[in-house]
Structure 1
């Protein structure tokens, strides 16, 4: 991941509603959530949510998937993994045991 992509992702997550949307989509897993339902669940109006979804998409953190006439959004775990890898690229100055608690905290049992 290039620095400019990492900055875009971090900036996208640096806004409260977008962070809520991203966390909601991470919780939803590969099933995703329809756009209208996302707005209702985070307590935002649909046109504002649409703007937030666009920012998260351009940052590579979510992606749309068409399900008939419904557009569902899912967390792009590859983009998220790339961001985490970028942030931890030079981790611990040669002492990987210092990173183990972070890695354990972000590893899921799903």
Structure 2
């Protein structure tokens, strides 16, 4: 992942409503959710929702597809994993991380 892409993704989710939208879409999984259901679930006005969805799409954190007369949005797990990978790429000086932290001293016994 390029630094500019990482910055765009972090900037997109550094806002309360967009973070809530992204987290909701991660929770619902690859099937995604219609924009109207997102608005209903998070109590967001449709005009505001459109703006936030555009920002998340621009950052490539979500994708959309048409299903009949609905637009279905879903989190882009590959981009999310790329972002996490970029942020943890050099974690712990190259020592593999375990569930409780970095390095051999933090592994549970």
Interval of TM-score (by shorter of Structure 1 and Structure 2): 0.7 to 0.9
Aligned residues: 101
| 1:46/1:28 CA distance change after superposition, 3 Å | same
- Offset, 1:28: 0.7
The answer for the alignment partner of 2:68 in structure 1 is: 68
The answer for the alignment partner of 1:3 in structure 2 is: 3
- Offset, 1:66: 0.9
Aligned residues: CA RMSD: 1.4
Give the TM-score normalised by the residue count of structure 1: 0.86
- Offset, 1:94: 2.5
Give, in whole Å, the separation in 2 of the partners of 1:100 and 1:72. Answer: 36
Give, in whole Å, the separation in 2 of the partners of 1:8 and 1:62. Answer: 13
Q: Of the candidates 90, 98, 101, which is equivalent to residue 100 of structure 1?
A: 98
Give the structure with higher Rg (CA). 2
The answer for the alignment partner of 1:54 in structure 2 is: 54
Consecutive aligned runs of 4 or more in structure 1 exceeding 2 Å deviation: none
The answer to which structure has the higher helix fraction is 1
Listed as ranges, the gaps of 5+ residues in structure 1 are 104-110
Give the TM-score normalised by the residue count of structure 2: 0.87
Q: Could you say what secondary structure the match of 2:4 adopts? A: helix
